[in-house]
Structure 1
Amino acid sequence: MSLDRRPLAIFLMGPTASGKTALACQLSERFPVDLVSVDSALVYRGLDIGSAKPDAATLARYPHALIDIRDPASPYSAADFRADATLAMQAITARGRVPLLVGGTGLYFRALQRGLSALPEADPAVRERLTAEAQVQGWPALHRRLAALDPTAAARIGPNDAQRLQRALEVIELTGRRLSEQQQGGSGEFFPWRVLKLALLPDDRSRLHARIAERFDAIVAAGLLREVRTLRARGDLHADLPAIRAVGYRQAWEHLDGRTDFATFRDHGIFATRQLAKRQITWLRSELDARALDPDRDDLRSRAEDALQLFLAGSI
């Protein structure tokens, strides 16, 4: 049997508020790794507080590639991430170091390692008809249709997320296959790194929920609403952009539109974050080759370090 001589890479994955960034920084102090962010909100400049972006001091000490690389007015896709992350990993490998990719955006990890399915081009006629139906029935009605056709896609798309709902239904109509299945399949391309996957999976979900509530309150106290007011004042951003659809930002935008009071804004923000964590955990459990680590165990760091040491030594 031939040896796998591909260069090494590490995926450190986990739900929101599980302590991924702190652990990645700790690991970078001991091992020859350089960090790459895998987060669909951290790519955007100006989304600092609501995204829990590492502060300037942390990034100065522990640089992360792929943070602050896109203006929020310009959407960033999984294909964009795959191209950017591949270049970052190649540069890290060329320096004789190991890329450590840290984040919670499962679609980005999947696109990077497995490639992207070839989805059909947009069909103007189908889109026009779906838009007309939504004007009569409402987007929540089309969301219920999607839930019947593709429950997995519906679970991660909000009932008023017109752009993504339209695309999911369009793909099903054009191909006869669920969007979630086509995204899962990948392109079958060879991935040029050998990967160790570490998944932070809490055994006690209630402790994660408590951290989510505490962190959301801390984000609000740090100035989330002020940050979103600044974004709104630009005049070129709107609620349908991927950056503004990020958890916390969408709820803050609705609150500043006068659609919710403060208490409802807080409840919606915490609930949306918990739902995000639930989806992230579901995806992580499907990554059968990942080593699960409980972020609430006292020996988390030592267990992660043991795994890295064995991997970098070629023992696993």
Structure 2
Amino acid sequence: MRPLPPAILLMGPTASGKTAAAMALYDALPVELISVDSAQVFVDMNIGTAKPDVGLLTRYPHRLIDLITPEERYSAARFRADALAAMAEITAAGRVPILVGGTMLYFRALLHGLAELPQADAALRAQIDRDAASKGWPAMHALLQTLDPVTAERLHPTDSQRIQRALEVCLASGKPMSTLLAAAEQEEPPYNFLQLALLPSDRTALHERIAQRFDAMLRAGLLDEVRQLRCTYQLSLELPSMRCVGYRQAWEALDGSLPLDELRDRGIYATRQLAKRQITWLGNSFTAETFDCLNPALAHSILERTQKFLA
């Protein structure tokens, strides 16, 4: 049998240096980059998503960036189809796909496939939202714990988007979403995967990086970006684009529901919570080789391991 073609997964929490490591691999090896980021799929959302700028994207092209408008929705199922198509093209060209990002659901979907979950039910979703408005999302999380403790365990009590979807699936199907997902797991795609995880040896140091990056986003004009998005598109806080970390807080600051002087602290806190969830996903759902993302020699270590894998 012919050996499977190689593919590299470069995973890690926000601010762990994934993009820089991927660029170092691009400079040294015959690879192409595929973004695994549920926020960078949106056009015109550049500052708050930490999207590489035009110059960097010209030098280091990333597939699956700027696919849809912020008014639209992008699913894990669509990502899997798009990623597999891109990987096939890259492999056919004699190069190696590197999938880089922090959306762990997308990585899991790529590796294991997706369950046939119930279609979105607008009426049921509206009822869940009404219950959340009166009781709070932590109470809805507690309800999810009774219906689907496995899913509830990996969700933060204020992760409204994912709690809503998990409850919707449970109530519509009569089965826990975790059960449906487990039943649908498929064999890996036809690739020899090298899974690399960039994790911090010191959470405090990662938190400082997160704060510095959010400060840079504010200086670069995050509020103006959200203001312009609201002028250009028909948006609401119910859309996935505006639920992205940073964008939700900026939206609330523009509306006055969040005092402007609290925007920085609220945005940094939300980003730290995101990083915590990403790290939990990496520990629970993947068998990746880990590298300290705080190591100054990170890019060199990743390159050495990748060269050995491809030799």
Correspondence for 2:24: 26
Contact 2:71–2:233 under 8 Å retained in 1: no
Instruction: Note if contact 1:73-1:237 (Cα within 8 Å) is conserved in structure 2.
Output: yes
Tell whether the 8 Å contact from 2:70 to 2:233 is kept in structure 1 after alignment: no
**3-state SS of the aligned residue for 2:98?**
strand
Check whether the contact 1:45–1:69 (CA below 8 A) recurs between aligned residues: yes
2:101 to 100, 103, 111: 103
Does residue 1:273 correspond to 2:271, yes or no?
yes
By how many angstroms is 1:261 displaced? 1.4
Q: Cα deviation per residue 1:223-278 (whole Å; 9 max; x = unaligned)?
A: 00000000111251111111111100011011111011122111110001000000
Q: Write the mapping of 1:47-126 to structure 2, written as runs, cut at 5 A.
A: 47-122=45-120, 126=124
Q: Runs of at least 4 residues of structure 1 off by over 6 A?
A: none
Deviation at 1:302, TM superposition (A): 2.3
Specify every segment of 5 or more residues in structure 2 that has no aligned partner in the other structure, as ranges: none
SS at match of 1:243: helix
Alignment partner for residue 280 of structure 2, among 275, 279, 282?
282
Alignment equivalent of 2:202, drawn from 196, 204, 219: 204
Tell me if 1:169 matches 2:167.
yes
Output the aligned Cα RMSD.
Answer: 2.3
Shift of 1:176: 4.5
Match of 1:188 in 2: 186
2:199 maps to 1:223? no
CA gap of 1:148–1:252, structure 2 versus 1, over 3 A, is: farther
- CA positional deviation for 1:297: 1.5
Distance 1:165 1:294, change over 3 A: closer
Q: Retained in 2: the 8 A contact 1:157–1:164?
A: no
Task: Determine if contact 1:106/1:283 at 8 Å carries over to the other structure.
Answer: yes
Match of 2:242 in 1: 244
1:312 CA drift (Å): 0.6
Give TM-score scaled by structure 1 length.
0.90
Distance in structure 2 (CA, Å) of the matches to 1:42 and 1:122: 23
The CA deviation at 1:148 is 4.4
1:156 to partner: Cα distance: 3.5
Alpha-carbon distance, 1:298 to partner: 2.8
Instruction: Give the share of equivalent positions with the same residue, in percent.
Output: 53
Structure 2 CA distance for partners of 1:4 and 1:292, relative to 1, 3 Å: farther
Give the Cα–Cα distance (whole angstroms) in 2 for the partners of residues 211 and 105 of structure 1. 19
- How many residues are matched? 310
Conservation of the 8 A alpha-carbon contact between 1:111 and 1:186: no
Q: CA deviation at 1:174?
A: 4.0
Name stretches of at least 5 consecutive residues in structure 1 with no aligned partner: none
| Structure 1 residue 50: Cα displacement | 0.5
